[in-house]
Amino acid sequence: MLRGNIELWLAFLTCILISTGYSLVAFLTREIPAASEFFGHTLGILGFILMLMTETFYSLRKRSRSAALGRMSTWLKFHIYMGLVGPFMVLLHTSWKFNGLAGATTLLTFIIVVSGFVGRYIFTRIPRTMDGLEIEGTLSQEALKRARQMMSLWHTVHIPIGIALFFSAFVHLGGALYYATLLK
């Protein structure tokens, strides 16, 4: 069980470690770390970088036919791991305040993570090789066709939400830099 879900377990353990550090900072300062302070900014920046990495690196590998870049199954595990840890760090960055554009960005982040779990479930219904290629003939053709249709439908939802999320995040980042840095 642990082996098939290693990326989920590693993400869970990483989030526990991050939570421990967050709790320590909250305990020492006797307040929830503010999003605009050094620790809050660090969480937000690192989380956003992880989210960008998960999207760009996995997308580039999917479009590359070169096996020299590694197995697709490994890249999918990387995508899942970073797609859980990055949003968790961004969630902690919010200081548990969800107003305005930052709140909308957090909502989109939550939706994309839930959508990722749905996509992972659909993806695991389609038999694949270790390289992530679909295996024909192990399921009835009708069940395989249905799973492919579900995956296609999922992509039509997941990808535009991801684009909206990153657009919103870049606008938030620009606003934060402008108002917190350039106006001071």
Pair of tokens at residue 150: 């579900």
- pLDDT (tens digit per residue) in 62-104: 777 776 777 777 888 888 899 899 999 999 998 888 888 888 8
Least confident stretch, 8-17, 46-55, 108-117: 108-117
**pTM, 2 dp:** 0.78
What does the alpha-carbon distance between residue 80 and residue 18 come to, in Å, rounded to a whole number? 17
- pLDDT reading at 136 higher than 70: no
- pLDDT (tens digit per residue) in 147-182: 778 878 888 888 888 899 899 999 988 888 888 777
Q: How far is CA 102 from CA 40, 55, 114, 176, 177, in A?
A: 13, 20, 18, 10, 13
- pLDDT (tens digit per residue) in 20-50: 999 999 999 999 988 878 898 899 889 999 9
Domain segments of the chain: what residues?
6-182
Instruction: Give 50's contacts (C-beta < 8 A, 6+ positions apart).
Output: 82, 85, 86, 89
